Structure formats: C-alpha cells, structure tokens
Structure 1
C-alpha cells in the first residue's frame, strides 16, 4: 500500500475464517475474531487477522480509501473447496464434517466474485470499510456434496470430526447495502463445477 499510496482506492481480500468459531450463528462484521481454521490450517486465521490489521493501519497511514472484503467459500468452474470434495467422493474417501452440524456456509461463485470487485472498490472509505462477502444462499457442506455427488454419479459419505473447519455462516446485510446481491444459484454453480471437472 505504501508503494501504491496514490491509488484512489484499495481492496484487500480477507476471509470469513477470521471469526471466532460460532457454529450456525450468523456472523456479522462486528462479531469477535478468533482462530477459526486452526484445526485444519494452524496459521490461516491468525495470518488473515494480522493482514487485516496491517491493511487498516496502512489505510490510515497513507490515507488510502480501503475495503476489506471477508470472503466465504469461493468456487467455480476452475475449482475451489467443493472441487476437493468432488475429488474425494470420486476416490471413495469420506468427507470430514465438523460434529457441530449443520455446517453452514455462503459459497460464492467466481463469476459473482469478478462482477462485484468494482463495487467493492467503490465502497472503499476511511476508516476502512469491512464487509462480509459470500453468496446470498446459505448452504451446508453436506448439501453441496449431495448435489456434486448426484451430478457426478457418486454418493458422498461423511465422517464427523473436530479436526476440520466448522460452519462459517455470515450475515450479508452490509454486503447487500454496499454492493448488491449475488446472481449465480449455488446448485447451478455446482453443476458447472462438475461439468468442468470430468472424471
């Protein structure tokens, strides 16, 4: 940000993995931060939180209007977390799910991500704008695996464990106010993912 201090706006893509684990609770931007992904990726959440701190400091220091967008589950024709689940199903491997079920998320398609970036830059401000960024539809990991399996001709099996990421379900009120709604239906997005990843 120091290098680009003359920028009209700056956008930092963070993660909803910065929140304290909260099960099915709908997380707002003001909810407590915590080590959400520690069970699966030990340094992920704390690294994301540290990056947000540096971005907010730099925005003030260099007077750059900034947006921090906390991305939920990105996926699309090119891949994403659901693509890993598809590969596991095809290999006959059980998919780990957190015992605190249902494991709710707000998956967002790559097409929506690309379409929304200009609006996120337009929303940049001082102090920094912070906004959850996810798909309008709340979906459980189990649900999207069922759709992937149905499209791919295989049946998902699940194994409950505390050694995986639990649900991260976010409140999108602020996103809707600032940048609007997503357009890609999650079922259609998952069908496209399967079609672009033949066995």
Structure 2
C-alpha cells in the first residue's frame, strides 16, 4: 500500500480517477487537478483532505500546482467537446499531456490512463489485442477519441525518454463497479425503466471489462512497473464478454424481461484486450458475473436479484 507519498491525480472528477484519489487520500498527500465545474465534487474531495487545484488540460499555466510529486496518475481527457475536432483533440490531449509531463518531470513515476479505444478496428471485434497491435480507431461515440489517445501515447513515450521519467501507459477497458455509471449501468437503468433495449447482434460487439476496485488496487503495482522507455499494458480484467450476453445476463439475474431491439449499428464496441501482461504485474482480476451481481445489488438495493448459477 502506498503511504507517505505526494501524489497528483488529474481528471479527478471522473469516476476512475476519483476512486483512485479517494483510496489513496488517507495515507498520502493527494492532489487533484481538474476543471472542477462541479462544485459538489470538489467539496467531496476536499472533505477527504485531498488538495484541489483548478487546471484545464491543454493549458500551460500550472499556477498553484506543485512540481515535486512522487507519483503522477494522469487521467484527464477532453472527449466530447472535441468529439469531431481531431486537431483540437490532439492539441488539448496530446500537447496538454506533454506540458504536464514537463511540469512534473521530477516524479518517480508517471501513469497515463489511456484506453482500448487506441487500437484500430478489426473485422472480428472479439479478437484480443496485444499491446503491440495496430492503433488508430474512430469511436462511434466520439470519433476523435481514439486518435487523441494514440497521439497522446506518442507524446508520453517521447517525454518519458527525454525526461528519464519512469512511465506506464495503461489502456483501460470498460470500467464497472459499485457506484459506477458506464455502459453496464446505462443498459440496466433502461431495463428498470421498462424501455426497449437496443443491442448489437450476438457475436458482433465485445468488450474487456475491468472492475473499479481492481483498477484502484492495481495502481501501486502498475506504478512500480513504470519504466524508461514507457511500459505499455492493457489495463483490463481477465474477462471479455459479448455485449448482448452482458445485457441478457443482467436481465436474467434481475428477473426482468426487457424487449431487445437488434441493431447492427448499436453497441459500444469497447474491444477486447489480451490481459496476459497485466496479469503478470497485478495477478488475477475479479470474475465479471459475480461482480456484476454484487454491483447491481449495491446500486439497486430495493430490487431482488437471483444468485449467479
């Protein structure tokens, strides 16, 4: 367990980064840098003795933000405002990350939160991607997102070498867990509301899941695995699942019978990653079915779920 360290976490109002910040706050001096457009989230962090600093990814003004951190976890990302603006996505995300890395270059390690969206699309979405596989994707929900991640990875890799800053690039999978939003919860909320569920055909859209508790617990070993040149790791769980199977499983354990509307254009197409390298660093992940049951029971305490068989 990390103790007595000075740690910067960017994008700390997002679910993944916020969970990491809150898990580290009791035993470390944690700083959270974000735009903080939501005052309530800022107050929540500060109530846990997390020091906050207003900062926008892409800006070169680091007033109020120290430069002597032991570790940096960089999760800030500009997505939807630049969803169709490739130039702005690269400017804000890639250039902004370069400016940040230069500011914190004295750190002992730097963890960049990338995404499986960096991988190029393949004919079979269920093919596990290795860390060395081709990149270059145009995500349906934000076309510039994958390119922005790939460009940022290039900057991170370069500055890790220039500054001799031990770095790990973690390509995050589909996050889920207690209190989390995201694709699984979006689907389930619609089920509970009695809405038709638009799903891709079976065998078309797969995703590598990762439990939020695993994400948090793996931060320390991933930081320890940072290196020069940068280490690149698929930050996913051990399981990948057909998106339609995921929907049907949640419906079954919730004893719901939603109307499924099949649409080839539907789905999140999160992609599948080979977890072999990550497992060697962190050990095994939580199994998805039992974890989904625990998540749904916690998130929807008034609903009765059946046990996983």
Tell me if both proteins adopt one fold, taking TM over 0.5 as the criterion: yes
In the alignment, what sits opposite 1:146? 248
Aligned pair partner of 1:55 in 156, 166, 181: 156
1:82 match: 184
Q: 1:186 to 1:51 in 2, by over 3 A?
A: same
Q: What SS class does the counterpart of residue 63 from structure 1 fall into?
A: coil
Q: CA RMSD in A?
A: 1.9
Instruction: Return the structure number with greater relative CO, CA threshold 8 A, min gap 6.
Output: 1
Alpha-carbon separation, structure 2, partners of 1:143 and 1:108: 16
Could you tell me how far 1:102 is from its partner in structure 2?
A: 3.9
Q: Secondary structure at the match of 1:47?
A: helix
Equivalent residue, structure 1, for 2:169: 68
SS in 2 for 1:131: strand
SS of the residue corresponding to residue 263 of structure 2 reads strand
The more displaced of 86-95 and 45-54 is 86-95
CA contact (8 A) 2:201 2:244 kept: no
1:1-199 to 2 correspondence within 5 Å?
A: 1-22=101-122, 23-37=125-139, 39-79=140-180, 80-99=182-201, 101-156=203-258, 157-162=260-265, 164-166=267-269, 168-182=271-285, 184-198=286-300
TM superposition score normalised by structure 2: 0.59
Cα distance in 2, alignment partners of residues 100 and 195 from structure 1: 26
User: Is contact 1:34-1:45 (8 Å) kept?
Assistant: yes
Between 165-174 and 88-97, report the one with greater CA deviation.
88-97
Q: Deviations over 1:43-77 (max 9, x none)?
A: 22122112212211221221101000001111000
Q: Deviations over 1:6-48 (max 9, x none)?
A: 11111011100111112221111111112241x2222221221
Q: Secondary structure at the match of 1:57?
A: helix
SS at the partner of 2:299?
Answer: coil
Q: Structure 2: 5+ residue runs without aligned partners? A: 1-100, 304-309
How many correspondences in the alignment?
A: 197
TM-score (norm: length of structure 1): 0.89
> What 5-or-longer segments of structure 1 have no aligned partner?
none
